[in-house]
Every structure is written in C-alpha cells, then in structure tokens.
Structure 1
Amino acid sequence: MIEMSNYMRKVLKEVPTLKVFDFSQYVSKIPGIIKFTIGEPDFDTPENVKAAAIKSIEHNRTHYAPQRGAAGLLQAISTTLAKKYDLHYDPATEILVTNGVTEGISSAITAVTNPGDVILVPTPTFSIYTPDVMIAGGTPIEVDTSKTGFKLTPALLQEYLDKYGERVKAVIFVNPSNPTGVAYSQAEMNDLAALIKGKPIFAICDEIYSELNYDGEYSSMAKVIPDQTILANGLSKSYAMTGWRIGYLCAPAKVTDLLFKVHAFAVTDIATFVQDAAEVALRDGDKATKEMDAQYVKRRDYMYQRLTAMGFKCTQPMGAFYIFAKIPPFLDQDDSKLIYQLANEAKVAVTAGSNFGKGGEGYLRFSYATSLDQIKEGMDRLARFCTEAQNK
C-alpha cells in the first residue's frame, strides 16, 4: 500500500497545529477545570442580532450571497469604520466580507506572498500568521519583541528590513495584541509606517480587538499608509459572535480585487442570514459592546491584582482580554510543562507562552473572557498552588 500522505505538500509536515486549541480540548476532559485558555467571550450574542438572523431565515435569505458581501453589510462596515475610526473605504470596491478574520488573514497572506518572500511576524503573537506564510510558500521570520515591551520598535523593524532587504513583502501588525494585550499609540504606528512607506511592503493589520481597547486610542497603519495596508477585522470578539464566522478585509480597490480571487475560490460566499445579523450588530450594537467592555475591565483589573500578588510579573493589558504573565521563580520555568501541572493539580487551565512564538517562553497567557466568579475561584486555586510550591 502506498502511503499517499508522503506525496502531499512537504511543507505541511512542518506546519504545526493550533496548540492553543489542542490543549483546550485536553483540559476539557478534566472534571471541574476552570479554563482561562480560549479567547472566547462568555457572553451570548446580543438578542437583536440573533433576532435578525432568525428573521432573515424566515424570509428565506438562505441562498447564495454576493461573493464580495451583501450590500447592506458592506455599507454598514464602511459607515462603522468612518464613524468610529475615521477610516474611509468604498463599500463597493474596497471591502470584502470573509469567513472570520482567520480566513481573511489567510487570504491576505496568500494573495501577497510569492515563493521566497519574507513576511515579518512580531512575536509573541497568535499562532496563525507563521503557518499561513508557510502554507503560502513564503518565509515567515519571527521578530522577538520581548525585550522591547512586546512592541515592534522602529529600531527593531529597521534591523530586519536591513537584514532581509527586498525580500520583505509584508509586516504583520496585531493591535491590540493577542497574547499580551498591549496596544500601539498612533505616534508609534506613524514611526513604524515611516520605515516602509513608499516601499513595496504591505502592512497586514489584524484589528479584531479594536473594539476592546480600554485604555488607549484607536491606532492603525490604515491611518497613515492606507495604500499599503490590508486591514482585517470582524465581529467575533466585540459582539460575542465567534461561532458566526464573520469578518472583513479592507484595502485599496486594485488590491481588494486580487484578494477577492483568493477568497472567492476558497469560500464562495458567506451565509446571507449571517451577514444580515452582522449588519444589525454594526448598526445597533454599541450598547451591548460597551456593557461587555465594562465587564472585561473589571475582570482584567481583578485578575491583574491577584496574579501580581502571587508573584507573577504581568504586562499591563490595554486591550483584548488577555494577561501575559512571567512565571515566578518558584514555579517550573518550562511553560509547556507547567500548564499540564496546573491543569492536573490545581484544576486551572492556562496557555503556554511558547505557543505564541519567540519571546513567549517562560510566560503564561490568562484569558479573562470568562465570568468574574470563575476568575475568583480560579485565582484562589492558583494562589493555593503557588503557596504550596513556595513551601516545598
């Protein structure tokens, strides 16, 4: 018998699975576990959004949708970006509705990457960008930002631009960041943009957490180099719509035309009733979003205080819903081993920092996208574990 898997694309054997989800599945089998792993809001999708989807189905909005997106949703995206962020995209030519930001990012990376092209991926970061580049045939280069406050600085960016020269095709920006929760100011974005402005380098900007930016201003490459920016965003996090799989890409019209080709052949279109629901979320969802944000801030502040008291050195998250914490010296410094120890002995599940690339080793990511009661109980369990470890 021929082992046909040996004749598939060789790079796929090097592409890792999403370890965050692998571990989450593992801990889900542990009775009584408290999970701070997956970044999924514990809130339900707002009632008016669910009602819009039901109404759409009842009106038989269940056939093929326009491949670029339904006209109503495209206009709602355009209006929202202009109103909230002062970003202006033509709904007919510069916006593309995608199957969540994950597909949008994959389509963007595939569309810009030729064999041998270098894509710079500042790390620690969520673990989709490097595999996407590998699958697209490019060369992902991780840029460790752990020594610069988990932010890409102009000096660090220039170092890699000098090293890889004309091979650099794009730089990934995730703002606010997963897993660190840090956010760039517009001044910081402007300084970084100055280094690639006018060069054939794309800024691929994942802004899925833009609505969950509590302490800073909205900032984006799209404000300063819109002609070189591919902006990705969606409704999963801010509107508690993870399972709806609805996102979008924004870029200049000629770029969007080519992004569309990758998207259309892979996905065809996005369910019409899902787009109808997303339109309602964008047009009439601010109240629900603000209520969720207020809860996230309370959870963040409580978790940050508890972790700090236990001896964890934490980044001060400005957005998203994660705390990235340095493992204290009295615990096992191997984060990939420690997470199993915590899960099995303390019944607390967190994510290993090394899952997020270079610079994440020795850290743990805590998601506070769960109830305050669960957070309090989880922190109590972790505190007992830390006390026992110190007394050994």
Structure 2
Amino acid sequence: MEHLINPQVRNIEISGIRKFFNSVSHFKEMVSLTIGQPDFPTPEHIKEAAKSAIDANFTVYTHNAGYIELRQATAEYMNKKYNLSYNPDSEVIVTAGASEGIDISFRTILSPGCEVILPGPVYPGYEPIIKLCGAVPVYADTTKNGFRLTADILKTYITEKTRCIVLPYPSNPTGVTLTAEELKEIAELISGNDIFILSDEIYSELVFDQKHTSIASYLRDQTIVINGLSKSHSMTGWRIGFVFAPASISQHLIKVHQYNVSCATSISQKAAYAAVTEGIDDALPMKQAYAERRDYVYGRLVKMGFDVVKPDGAFYFFVRVPKPYSDSLQFALELAEQVKVAVVPGNSFSALGEGYFRLSYACSMEMLETALNRIEQFLSA
C-alpha cells in the first residue's frame, strides 16, 4: 500500500539531527553535543502550577486560541520584553509548541508553486512543511556573511513567486542573530510587497550581547511571530508555543489550528501562565550560564584552530570541519567512533551546511570540558 502514500510525505527525510543522534546513541560513554535540549529543569513554580491545574480538574478543552487569561498574560509579556503590542482576543494563539505554530502558519499562507526564502544553513524543520504545502524552499547563501541574512543578500533571491521569508533569529544552527538596523533594512525592502515574514523567535530570551529585536517592530502587518517556552523556560516537553499576528492573518491561522489540535494542552497552558507572569525572568540565570559556556567553548575551539563564528545567542556553534576533512558526515562519524563525542553533521541543515558541524552547549560545563578535551585529542591524533 506504500505506493498510495502522498508523494510529498513519502519523499520527506527524517531530521538529520535525530538520524545521526540515533546512529551513535548505542556507543558507550558517548558525550552527546547533538540535541538542543536545555539541561536545566523546568522551574519549580511552573511545575507546581501544573499540579494545581490537575487537582482543580483543569483538564478540559480550552478556547481554541488558548484560555483568555494566558493570552492576556502572554500579550503583556511580549509588550514588556520586546515592546510588541497584540490584542489577546484576536491576535494571539497558543499552540502545541512553536513547531505547530510554524506548521499552521505555512499551511495558512502558502499555496502550490510559491517560494519561501530560507537563510541557509538553517534548522531542518521548515523545508518539509513548505514542501507539504506544494511550495518551494529557496536557500539564500549566508555562509560568506557570518551566517547573517541581510537585505543586500535577500534582494537577490526575491522573485515574483516569493510568498514568505523566514527569519529564524537567533539561529539554529549558527547561534547568530540580526541587529535592529539589519532588521529595519529588511523591513524597508519588504514593506508594501505581497510577502509575509515568518519570524521564528523561539530563542529570543537567549541573546547575550545585545537586546533582542523583532522585525514585527518595523513590519507588523506582514509579520507572523513564532515564540514559545521550550528554550526560555526549559519546557520542551510541555509543548507550548505562541503565534502573534495581525487579526487579518490570525483569523485564518486559527482555522487551521482548530482542525489540527483543537487547543493546546490545558494543563500546560496553566504552567505557561505561571511562566509568563511569575516566571517572566526565569530565563536570566539560564542565559548567564549559557553565555559562560559559550565563552569557554569559543576559547577552546579557537585555540584548537577551528574556523568558527562566535554566536550571539541560542546555544549552538556552527563550526567548519578541520582539514583534511570536507565531508561533515565522515568527520562526525570518525569523531564519534574514535573519541566518543557526538556532534551534528552540517549537511543536516541544508546543502549549504556541508563542511560544517553543529555543537550544542546546552549541557554542563563538565560535559563540555570532557568533550572538548576529547576533540583536542582527536585532532592531535
């Protein structure tokens, strides 16, 4: 019966990140720097809020867009943090993680044949959804510009078929982000054109050396903002994301969301309320720890002779594989086999990622020290 499967689905590949993680997970004493999973526990007050929700029997459907108190609190959170203003009644949707927010956004705005510009290398979760919509992913090469998609690069990829531009900053896998001025220049380039911006800001609370700015500050009417609590509050398994968009767009997003999941998990929504109110600054101690790890890892990598761009945020390095290697998969396999360190081959993040590997520092300093010592040993050998 496989021949009856939707060809678009049949041709989708499993994420290269997970594929490589699974292929080396059986190695004993492996130090894995592969998955973007915060190593901090969910804050206690958030867990207590979920327990209270269960005890109070808050285990029913909520409004499709999320229960109103959470939407109000989330709108206030975005206003305080990033000076963005959204109406909680008509412009905020609580989703089952940021991933569902991305899914419903693409399925709402894309149609067969239109194009979506992605800054390559990029997180692999966008392309499959774009293709399921019958649209075409177009990769803009950022490798010669420090992995930054600027207006000058972007304008060379825009065509009459361009429907959407994805701005995933801070970036997975590179950790870089854009300045307010760079975002403003993109907004000026796109303003007035029939092009959406999908701004994936899931790492917005993990920006180290500057204040996070959303392009929605400059181009609100054409921008769909994706955010969530997975990275900022170490709530990956709670599956809570947020979509912010003008009412003219949100009124259509909610239809796709409704028939997709009905509503986000009620118990997780109560936990999310605690996160965006009492826990509004829960990310700060995590961000400080990540910044310390970033500086340590950067110093070690540079000392070893790696060609690497220092990240602005998130918790990843995107590193050029050392000579004589050119194949990122071969390098990652040999590193795993010989010194028991797992990193993600760069080709998992589009063809433009070939020749690089991603290293996640969302783990303890002790693990990072062990891993980097082993990498140094590998290079010496």
Corresponding residue to 1:152 among 149, 154, 163: 149
Corresponding residue to 1:208 among 185, 202, 205: 202
CA displacement at 1:33 relative to structure 2: 0.4
State the Cα deviation string for residues 142-195 of structure 1 (Å, max 9, x = none).
Answer: 11111122111222211111xx22x11000000111111111011100111111
Deviates more, 1:167-176 or 1:140-149: 140-149
- Equivalents in 2 of 1:234, 1:151: separation in Å? 23
Q: Paired residues, what number?
A: 381
Q: Corresponding residue for 2:337?
A: 344
Partner-residue secondary structure (3-state), 2:274: helix
CA contact (8 A) 1:96 1:260 kept: yes
Corresponding residue to 1:359 among 352, 366, 377: 352
CA displacement at 1:25 relative to structure 2: 2.0
- Equivalents in 2 of 1:67, 1:363: separation in Å? 42
TM-score w.r.t. structure 1 length?
A: 0.95
Instruction: Please state if 1:83 is matched with 2:77.
Output: no
Corresponding residue to 2:14 among 5, 13, 17: 17
Instruction: Please state if 1:233 is matched with 2:227.
Output: yes
Q: Corresponding residue for 1:246?
A: 240
CA contact (8 A) 1:73 1:276 kept: yes
Q: Corresponding residue for 1:384?
A: 377
**Structure in which a larger fraction of residues adopt helix:** 1
CA displacement at 1:80 relative to structure 2: 0.5
- Equivalents in 1 of 2:153, 2:24: separation in Å? 37
Deviates more, 1:362-371 or 1:22-31: 22-31
Q: Corresponding residue for 2:47?
A: 50
The correspondence of residues 91-106 of structure 1 with structure 2, limited to 5 A, is 91-106=88-103
CA displacement at 1:288 relative to structure 2: 3.0
Corresponding residue to 2:368 among 358, 375, 383: 375
State the Cα deviation string for residues 75-96 of structure 1 (Å, max 9, x = none).
Answer: 1110000011100000010000
Instruction: Please state if 1:269 is matched with 2:263.
Output: yes
Q: Which 5+ residue runs of structure 2 have no aligned equivalent? A: none
Partner-residue secondary structure (3-state), 1:64: coil
- Equivalents in 1 of 2:253, 2:281: separation in Å? 33
Corresponding residue to 1:65 among 62, 65, 86: 62
Instruction: Please state if 1:118 is matched with 2:118.
Output: no
- Equivalents in 2 of 1:325, 1:312: separation in Å? 7
CA contact (8 A) 2:321 2:331 kept: no
CA contact (8 A) 2:107 2:133 kept: yes
CA displacement at 1:70 relative to structure 2: 1.0
Check 1:284–1:216 CA distance in 2 against 1; reply closer, same or farther (3 A cut).
same
Instruction: Please state if 1:217 is matched with 2:214.
Output: no
Give aligned-pair identity as a percent: 39
Deviates more, 1:200-209 or 1:338-347: 338-347
Partner-residue secondary structure (3-state), 2:348: helix
CA displacement at 1:287 relative to structure 2: 4.5
- Equivalents in 2 of 1:274, 1:32: separation in Å? 34
Partner-residue secondary structure (3-state), 1:69: coil
The correspondence of residues 164-175 of structure 1 with structure 2, limited to 5 A, is 164-165=159-160, 167-175=161-169
CA contact (8 A) 2:96 2:265 kept: no
- Equivalents in 2 of 1:57, 1:25: separation in Å? 34
- Equivalents in 1 of 2:337, 2:52: separation in Å? 45
- Equivalents in 1 of 2:280, 2:29: separation in Å? 35
Partner-residue secondary structure (3-state), 1:356: coil
CA contact (8 A) 1:350 1:366 kept: yes
Q: Corresponding residue for 1:136?
A: 133
Q: Which 5+ residue runs of structure 1 have no aligned equivalent? A: none
State the Cα deviation string for residues 329-367 of structure 1 (Å, max 9, x = none).
Answer: 14x221011111111111000011111114211111110
Partner-residue secondary structure (3-state), 1:364: strand
> CA-atom RMSD, angstroms?
1.0
Q: Corresponding residue for 1:300?
A: 294
CA contact (8 A) 2:98 2:240 kept: yes
CA contact (8 A) 1:183 1:216 kept: no
- Equivalents in 1 of 2:236, 2:27: separation in Å? 24
